[in-house]
Structure 1
Amino acid sequence: MKSGDFKTFLKNISKKGLTVLDVSIPKSKYSPIDLSESNKILNRVDVSSSSKLEVFVNNHIKKHDALVAFGGYLEVRNIYKRSNHFNSQDEEERNIHLGIDLWCDTETLIYTPLDGVVHSFKNNTNYGDYGPTIILKHNISEVEFYTLYGHLSLASIEKLKVGQEFKQGDQIATLGDANINGDYPPHLHFQIIKDIQEYFGDYPGVCSEKYLEFFRVNCPNPDILLKIDNFFSL
């Protein structure tokens, strides 16, 4: 299936926006946030400190009378400079974000937007990594693809089993805090993956400019499913 066809397929799965967060949070309580390197206000924040970044995110949420700050697909971010996990001397710097982040309270309930089975899960413990992570496999109209949920609580994966089935709307996890989620303010990293390749419990959520075109095709904008931006464009 070609890139454009896959995006059209995803868009047509549901006319209504699907949800991965607690359904009691209305879209009116979501607010877009800019965490890119071009945000001059953010450039005055020490983003190497999860607590200082959390203050920035929480102030944004409060200012906009929101409960969730969201965004980040293909954002070029400075936040990853703090970790060698994204800055190996042998590779080009990885700083382009491939999912959508939903910044909200720790222990927020996470749901699957579609029927799926557990492909894999793992606690990715590198500094700045996902922490506890779940990958679901979906098969809709004989089209197979995957969704990734990162920065979860440790309890989210303790009793999980590969092949475990979830129905659309089932709770699959809760959000973790900075002590377990890779040292970030609590948030969900949600990502669509067309081809999981050989990964298990992990998949790149940040890429370098060199590999951007591959990942742009393999990991289309998750808002195709969530349709959060549609609410703000009305």
Structure 2
Amino acid sequence: IAFGGYIETRNLYQRSTVFKNTNSDERNIHIGLDLWINETATIHAALVGKIHSFQNNTALGDYGPTIILEHEIEGIVFHTLYGHLSEASLLGKKVDDVVTKGEQIATLGLPPINGDYAPHLHFQIIIDMEEKTGDYPGVCSEKILDFYKNNCPNPNLLLKIN
């Protein structure tokens, strides 16, 4: 597994209109952790939780099929986002379905289904979903980076990958 990319500036987002804001602030700072793994790898829940939402975000450069889980630990509610999945990963899912830690929840998507990227998992922690469902920004602009650093802390705090 290769991993990285949290708070990394990336020029590749210029290829997609998904990352262009109407106020002209360029969204080019990645706020999740990417895990490049074998394209046949299965994706498992990092923690016990329930399905918050899911959808296929089909625009070029977007997540493609995406699952968001909701977790509660010691009274604190937060979410984990799994992006760039296969379309089959969304089949049979229902909001509020319970998932156990380590349970397989998905498989990786291949281009062009996964937003047209090399196969990898986008993993992100989100404190406040801001009433969004099935999608949440994984890239932000410099102007609003402080908000996203607080709302989307480094996923490696949870995964503890060395």
**Match in the other structure for 1:155:** 88
2:122 match: secondary structure: strand
Matched residue, 1:168: 101
Deviations 1:162-184 (A, max 9, x none): 00000111010000001200000
Which of 131, 137, 140 is the matching residue for 1:207? 140
Kept in 2, the 8 Å contact 1:101–1:187? The answer is: yes
The one-letter amino acid of 1:214's match is F
Unpaired stretches in structure 2, ≥5 consecutive residues: none
1:183 and 2:116 correspond? yes
Percent identity, please.
59
Distance (whole Å) between structure 1 residues aligned to residue 42 and residue 66 of structure 2: 14
One-letter code of the match for 1:144? V
One-letter amino acid of the counterpart of residue 88, structure 2: A
Cα distance in 2 for partners of 1:91, 1:123 equals 26
1:110 counterpart = 2:43? yes
Paired residues for 1:15-26 under 5 Å: none
Q: Give the number of equivalent residue pairs.
A: 162
Partner of 1:69: 2
Whichever structure has more helix as a proportion of its residues is 1
* Equivalent-residue separation in structure 2 for 1:93 and 1:100 (angstroms): 20
> Which amino acid counterpart does residue 144 of structure 2 have in structure 1?
Y
Q: Distance in 2 between matches of 1:203 and 1:88?
A: 15
Unpaired stretches in structure 1, ≥5 consecutive residues = 1-67
Question: Any idea what the Cα deviations from partners look like across 1:18-75, whole Å, max 9, x if unmatched?
Answer: xxxxxxxxxxxxxxxxxxxxxxxxxxxxxxxxxxxxxxxxxxxxxxxxxx21100000
The partner residue of 2:77 within 130, 139, 144 is 144
Q: How far apart, CA to CA, are the structure 1 residues paired with 2:131 and 2:22?
A: 24
Partner of residue 81 from structure 1, selected from 14, 17, 35: 14
Measured against aligned partners, the alpha-carbon deviations of 1:184-208 in whole angstroms (never above 9, x if no partner) come to 0000000000101111000000000
Q: Which has the higher contact order (CA 8 A, sep 6+)?
A: 2
Give 2:157's aligned residue: 224
| Structure with larger Rg | 1
Deviation at 1:106, TM superposition (A): 1.8
Instruction: Measure the CA separation in 2 of the matches of 1:89 and 1:183.
Output: 24
Q: Comparing both structures, which one devotes a greater share of its residues to strand? A: 2
| Superposition RMSD in Å | 0.9
State TM-score, norm by structure 1: 0.68
- Determine the C-alpha separation between the residues in 2 that align with 1:202 and 1:79: 20
Give the letter for the 1:86 counterpart. F
Moved over 4 A (4+): none
| C-alpha contact (below 8 Å) 1:107/1:176 kept by paired residues | no
